[in-house]
Amino acid sequence: MTRASSTSITCETGPRPGLPDTSLDITIAGKGRVSTGDHTYTYARFWSDPDTWGGLFAPVDGESFVVSKGVNLVFDIDHSPQLQAVLVEGSLIFLPDDDENHHRTFDARYIFVKGGRMEVGTEENPYDSKITITLHGTIDDPFLPIYGNKVLGVRFGKLDMHGPKREPTWTRMETTSEPGATQIQLMEEVDWQEGESFAVASTSFNPREAEERVISRIDRSDSSRPILIFDVPLQFKHFAQE
């Protein structure tokens, strides 16, 4: 142990043969064990740490890598290179940034979780900054048996991907909108933000009349009946009446 206060303990570990499971057990001499609540200890490697890559370079464009069984790898850089294949037999963990507008990107042609774990937020702690995982490839690329290409495949193991809760994820229109409308009124309060996209369902027999727009502004002067304002006019009428 290198340092301890009433709220934190800093420890240094030596090199380890193999890796322990996630756990946390604190004992104070003469007093006994400490309640650790929901906290756990994970022995993890950071992508940004050269030691993670054996003192060599971290992967670059076009390269593949394996997260071996027993290894917990935390992806702590902002943008991955354009990776070829990523094989996850240990844990690949994406941690959110403190800045909610921070935007991480991860690009690969194949991601294959084989008996390992990939985690982008958890149910308890959703990934509350931004992350975009992009898969690349064409139909002509080599197929993984069963799983194909341009794929995030999971064979045994665990995958968790959780964003912050949104309320509501969908609602209904308050009033009918005519073709050419650049705003629509909703029936209830929403946590939606400027810059986000929404879809309005078709209300005719033609499902192609569903439309997608980007919110440029939200008028919340009546917060229980917010008005979404957008730049590109709607092409079709969308009906809303009891």
Residues that bind other proteins (CB under 8 A): 120-121, 123, 126-139, 146-148, 150-166, 168-174, 177, 184, 186-187, 190, 192, 195-203, 212, 228, 238-242
Closer to other proteins by CB, 52 or 130: give it. Answer: 130
Smallest distance, other proteins to C-beta of residue 179, A: 13
Strands 130-135 and 183-185: unpaired
Neighbours of 53 (CB within 10 A): 13
Of 90, 103, 115, 109, nearest to 21 (Cα)? Answer: 90
ω into 168 cis (within 30 of 0): yes
Question: CA–CA separation, 216 vs 193, rounded Å?
Answer: 9
Question: Nearest-5° angle of CA 6, CA 10, CA 12?
Answer: 155
Smallest distance, other proteins to C-beta of residue 238, A: 4
Smallest distance, other proteins to C-beta of residue 214, A: 9
Question: CA–CA separation, 177 vs 235, rounded Å?
Answer: 10
Closer to other proteins by CB, 19 or 215: give it. Answer: 215
Closer to other proteins by CB, 45 or 238: give it. Answer: 238
Closer to other proteins by CB, 49 or 191: give it. Answer: 191
Smallest distance, other proteins to C-beta of residue 207, A: 12
